[in-house]
């Protein structure tokens, strides 16, 4: 998109911007992408909080918000937001003022940065990288920093206890979640989320969760650990309002408090989208409509065309739908299960999740090595090996032979990502 | 492409300055938790430098291991142990001398090593080509770590071939070192609990 913006500037604004300046286009491109991505945690939080209120209401046999903005209380979250903005921004006297004020932004930055590498459709990704899975996990792990610093800097015992629990919990759960994520990576042979998702193109039988019985079980462990790693009930020990007042955010009020929750809902979306991409085919629907009528992109290097763009748009909606289903299940779990004790949380991680996932990992390894059948063999659409070939930069030999072709491929990638940007 | 190189340079400067500023702030702060916070930002900026160089894997690794792992444990340890006296650290004159000597010699070593890197004095354009050629490829690095230099398979010189076993030995040494550290940590943790029980 950077280049097309530059062409546009050259054509119409040459009186304002010299034609040999190329930076305006690129700066504008970066801005547009960043603004689009920041909508996911910001607007997403608005909708998810409304969903949380409605769903929790229904689960508890009441209606939830019904007045603000019409019958279903659509604008409840917006009203909440207005209330939070007008609240006083307190800093306790014993707090470390600088860290106290910065901590919410640190949490939010981590949750936002994970979205940079998370694709929305073929080529619609902020920064296409071949270690996207790893990057997303690494950045999500940083969210704990905001919570720990908030707990420490508040100068309150409740907050400190919450922060210590959070640190113990997140550091523990990074182990099983990493092992779970390795399974799809192992089956696909790449850490590139775009490639992993494209490998699952076709009928739903090609989704990795149906690859073999072990992988199907790994998903459930992944989801459990994901709930724990984003600090949601029944693993919300850092808040534990029945024991610790409000845990790490006891001393926060107003906008800073709400930023923590934007980060929480943002990372809920990220782990759900990651689950959708790793186990549920990403943007590839249960029925490959756009593959059957030949609109979808089959390889990354294809030039941009309108039909492919439309296919991508529906794919993007498909992925977001799957991720929202994941978030809904998290909300459902939260209002159904009671909170665990901290020792039970750690026991669940080390005595159940880690051994189980290690066993399942060996199972998947055996299944892949012996080349046992998967449902995709019965209803074949596309072999995984075929998908790989379209991704030249995935194989090191191709990259070494033609190092100069790579930037071009990337620019097409970016251009596709950008065309998504103008939705 | 020229303009892109320019942006590359601007971003490099940005991340480098951030890393240096926060590294100095680590030095000049006396509060341990703030130190850890600045260290987070300095290491994060270093991860940004790696990403900028096209080494996405190393960058993510930096975030995962140092920022997400080591530093969280560090802050965790501080929160568990720090009483009022230990939260603020005063640096004595002797410490400064020792630190300057150790840090200075490391800096000297790194500068000398960087100067003797082949191609260190060549034009920046060559660096640009190198960066883009290596982008997206971590397989070579991984294979080199387990003992195969696939980028040097065509080496014909018999004496040079012997030195091309990759980085297996240093990798193993580091792994054994980490194992020793783990065993030591486990031993220390056990010993303390034992001592408490007898007391």
* CATH code of B40's domain: 1.20.120.1200
> In the numeric block, which tokens belong to residue A279?
């186990």
- In contact, B29 and B88? CB cutoff 8 Å: no
- Return the ∠ at Cα A159 (arms to A79 and A349), rounded to 5°: 100
Residue B94 covered by a domain: no
pLDDT of residue A254: 79
Q: What angle do helix axes A2-12 and A406-421 make, rounded to 10 degrees?
A: 70
- Spell out which residues of chain B touch residue A141, defining contact as CB-CB under 8 Å: 63-64, 68-69, 72
pLDDT of residue A406: 39
Q: Are residues B146 and B78 in the same domain?
A: no
| Closest by CA position to A122, among listed A197, A206, A36 | A197
The verdict on a CB contact (< 8 Å) between A138 and B68 is yes
| Closest by CA position to A238, among listed A154, A138, A178 | A154
Domain count, chain B: 2
Q: A374 in the Ramachandran plot: left (φ > 0), alpha (ψ -120 to 50) or beta?
A: beta
Q: Is the dihedral of CA A372, A376, A379, A381 positive or negative?
A: negative
Q: Would you call B71 an interface residue with chain A, using a CB distance cutoff of 8 Å? A: yes
Distance of alpha carbon B156 from alpha carbon B174, whole angstroms? 30
How buried is A82 (Cβ within 10 angstroms: 0-12 exposed, 13-18 middle, 19+ buried)?
Answer: exposed
- In contact, A221 and A176? CB cutoff 8 Å: yes
- Spell out which residues of chain A touch residue B56, defining contact as CB-CB under 8 Å: 129-131, 135
How far does CA A165 lie from the centroid of its chain?
Answer: 24
Distance of alpha carbon A127 from alpha carbon A174, whole angstroms? 24
Distance of alpha carbon A417 from alpha carbon B60, whole angstroms? 22
Of B4, B56, B72, which has the smallest distance from its Cβ to A131's Cβ? B56
Distance of alpha carbon A145 from alpha carbon B38, whole angstroms? 12
Residue B123 covered by a domain: no
Residue B39 covered by a domain: yes
Concatenating the DSSP letter of every residue in A287-356 gives: S-HHHHTT-S-SSTTSPP-HHHHHHHHHHHHHHHHHHHHHHHHHHHHHTTSPPPPHHHHHHIIIIIIHHH
**Interface residues on A facing B, Cβ-Cβ cutoff 8 A:** 22-23, 26, 96, 98-99, 102, 129-131, 134-135, 137-139, 141-142, 144-145, 148-149, 151-153, 160, 163-164, 167-168, 170-171, 174, 393, 396, 399-400, 403-404, 406-407, 410
Q: Are residues B77 and B148 in the same domain?
A: no
The verdict on a CB contact (< 8 Å) between A149 and B7 is no
Q: Would you call B73 an interface residue with chain A, using a CB distance cutoff of 8 Å? A: yes
- Spell out which residues of chain B touch residue A144, defining contact as CB-CB under 8 Å: 68, 72
pLDDT of residue B192: 56
From residue B14, how far is each of A356, B20, B44, B135 by CA, in Å?
45, 10, 12, 20
Task: Say how many C-beta atoms besides its own lie within 10 A of residue A35's C-beta.
Answer: 11
Domain boundary among B44, B63, B86: B86
Residue B99 covered by a domain: no
- Spell out which residues of chain B touch residue A401, defining contact as CB-CB under 8 Å: none
The verdict on a CB contact (< 8 Å) between A406 and B138 is no
Domain boundary among B23, B58, B86: B86
Concatenating the DSSP letter of every residue in A92-107 gives: -TTS-HHHHHHHHHHH
pLDDT band at B3; cut points 50, 70, 90 = very low
Q: Taking CA atoms, what residue in B is nearest to A22?
A: B3
Q: Distance from B137 to chain A by nearest Cα, in Å?
A: 6
Q: Are residues B82 and B10 in the same domain?
A: yes
Which structural domain, as residue segments, surrounds residue B164?
138-199
Residue B147 covered by a domain: yes
Give the torsion through C-alpha atoms of A50, A56, A59, A63, to 10 deg: -60
Q: Are residues B73 and B144 in the same domain?
A: no
Phi, psi dihedrals of residue A284, rounded to the nearest 5°: -95, 120
Residue B169 covered by a domain: yes
Q: Residue B162 above 80 pLDDT?
A: no
Q: Are residues B144 and B75 in the same domain?
A: no
Residue B130 covered by a domain: no
Of B7, B34, B138, which has the smallest distance from its Cβ to A131's Cβ? B138
Q: Are residues B10 and B82 in the same domain?
A: yes
- Spell out which residues of chain B touch residue A164, defining contact as CB-CB under 8 Å: 76, 79-80
The verdict on a CB contact (< 8 Å) between A149 and B61 is no
Residue B191 covered by a domain: yes
Residue with tokens 């530093």: B71
Each residue's pLDDT, cut to its tens digit, for chain A (423 residues) gives 566 666 666 666 666 666 666 667 777 878 888 888 888 888 888 888 888 888 888 888 888 787 777 778 788 888 888 888 888 888 887 777 788 888 888 888 888 888 888 888 877 777 777 788 888 988 888 888 888 888 888 878 888 888 888 888 888 888 899 889 989 888 887 788 888 888 887 777 778 888 888 888 999 999 999 998 888 878 887 777 777 777 777 878 878 888 888 888 888 999 999 999 998 888 887 877 777 777 776 655 566 677 777 888 888 888 999 999 999 999 999 888 888 888 888 888 888 989 999 999 999 888 888 877 777 776 655 555 555 433 433 333 333 333 333 344 444 444 444 443 333
Q: Are residues B76 and B10 in the same domain?
A: yes
pLDDT of residue A357: 92
- Spell out which residues of chain B touch residue A152, defining contact as CB-CB under 8 Å: 33, 75, 79
Distance of alpha carbon A328 from alpha carbon A336, whole angstroms? 12
> In the numeric block, which tokens belong to residue A235?
């693993």
Q: Would you call B135 an interface residue with chain A, using a CB distance cutoff of 8 Å? A: yes
Of B40, B56, B129, which has the smallest distance from its Cβ to A129's Cβ? B56
The pTM (predicted TM-score) of the whole model is: 0.78
Distance of alpha carbon A303 from alpha carbon A63, whole angstroms? 50
Burial profile A344-355: b = 16 or more Cβ within 10 angstroms, e = fewer = ebbebbeeebbe
- In contact, A270 and A139? CB cutoff 8 Å: no
pLDDT of residue B108: 92
The verdict on a CB contact (< 8 Å) between B57 and A26 is no
Of A139, A152, A406, which has the smallest distance from its Cβ to B135's Cβ? A406
Distance of alpha carbon B71 from alpha carbon B36, whole angstroms? 7
Burial profile A315-334: b = 16 or more Cβ within 10 angstroms, e = fewer = bbebbbebbbebbeebbebb
Domain boundary among B86, B104, B121: B86
């Amino acid at each position: 998109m950077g280049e097309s913006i530059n062409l546009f500037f050259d054509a119409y604004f040459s009186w304002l911007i010299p034609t040999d300046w190329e930076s305006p286009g690129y700066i504008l491109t970066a801005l547009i992408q960043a603004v689009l991505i920041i909508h996911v945690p910001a607007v997403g939080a608005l909708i998810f909080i409304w969903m949380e209120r409605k769903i929790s209401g229904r689960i508890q046999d009441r209606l939830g918000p019904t007045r603000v903005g019409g019958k279903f209380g659509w604008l409840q979250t917006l009203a909440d937001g207005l209330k939070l903005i007008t609240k006083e921004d307190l800093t306790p006297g014993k707090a470390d003022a600088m860290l106290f004020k910065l901590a919410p932004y640190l949490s939010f930055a981590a949750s936002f940065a994970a979205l940079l590498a998370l694709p929305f459709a073929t080529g619609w990704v902020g920064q296409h990288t071949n270690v996207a899975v790893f990057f997303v996990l690494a950045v999500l792990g940083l969210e704990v920093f905001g919570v720990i610093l908030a707990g420490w800097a508040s100068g309150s015992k409740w907050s400190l206890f919450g922060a210590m629990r959070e640190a113990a919990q997140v550091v523990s759960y990074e182990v099983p979640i990493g092992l779970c994520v390795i399974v799809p990576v192992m089956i696909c042979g790449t850490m590139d989320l775009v490639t992993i998702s494209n490998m699952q193109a076709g009928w739903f039988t090609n989704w990795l969760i149906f690859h073999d019985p072990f992988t199907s079980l790994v998903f459930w462990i992944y989801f459990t650990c994901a709930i724990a790693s984003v600090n949601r009930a029944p693993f919300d020990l850092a808040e534990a309002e029945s024991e610790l007042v409000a845990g790490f955010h006891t001393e926060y009020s107003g906008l800073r408090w709400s930023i923590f929750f934007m980060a929480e809902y943002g990372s809920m979306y990220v782990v759900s989208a990651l689950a959708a991409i790793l186990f549920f085919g990403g943007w590839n629907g249960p029925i490959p409509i756009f593959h059957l009528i030949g609109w979808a992109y089959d390889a990354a290097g294809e030039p941009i065309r309108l039909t492919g763009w439309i296919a991508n748009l529906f794919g993007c909606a498909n992925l977001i739908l799957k991720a929202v289903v994941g978030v809904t299940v998290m909300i459902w779990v939260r209002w159904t299960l009671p909170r665990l004790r901290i020792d039970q949380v750690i026991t669940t991680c080390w005595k159940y999740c880690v051994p189980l996932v290690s066993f399942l990992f060996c199972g998947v390894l055996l299944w892949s090595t012996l080349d046992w059948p998967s449902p995709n063999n019965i209803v074949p659409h596309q072999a995984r090996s075929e998908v790989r070939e379209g991704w030249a930069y995935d194989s090191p030999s191709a990259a070494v032979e033609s190092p100069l072709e790579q930037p071009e491929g990337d620019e097409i990638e970016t251009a596709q990502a950008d065309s998504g940007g103008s939705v | 492409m020229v303009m892109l190189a320019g942006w590359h340079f601007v971003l490099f400067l940005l991340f480098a300055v951030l890393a240096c500023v926060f590294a100095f702030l680590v030095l000049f702060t006396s509060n341990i938790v703030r130190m850890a916070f600045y260290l987070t930002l300095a290491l994060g900026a270093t991860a940004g430098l790696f990403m900028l160089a096209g080494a996405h894997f190393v960058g993510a690794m930096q975030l995962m291991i140092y920022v997400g792992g080591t530093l969280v444990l560090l802050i965790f340890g501080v929160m568990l142990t720090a009483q009022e006296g230990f939260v603020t650290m005063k640096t004595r004159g002797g410490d400064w001398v020792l630190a300057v000597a150790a840090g200075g010699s490391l800096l000297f070593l790194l500068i000398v090593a960087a100067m003797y890197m082949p191609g260190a004095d060549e034009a920046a354009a060559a660096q640009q080509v190198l960066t883009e050629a290596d982008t997206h490829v971590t397989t070579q690095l991984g294979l080199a770590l387990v003992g195969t230099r696939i980028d040097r398979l065509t080496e014909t010189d018999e004496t040079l071939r012997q030195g091309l076993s990759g980085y297996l030995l240093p990798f193993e040494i580091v792994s054994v070192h980490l194992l020793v550290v783990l065993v030591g940590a486990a031993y220390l943790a056990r010993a303390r609990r034992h001592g408490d029980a007898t007391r």
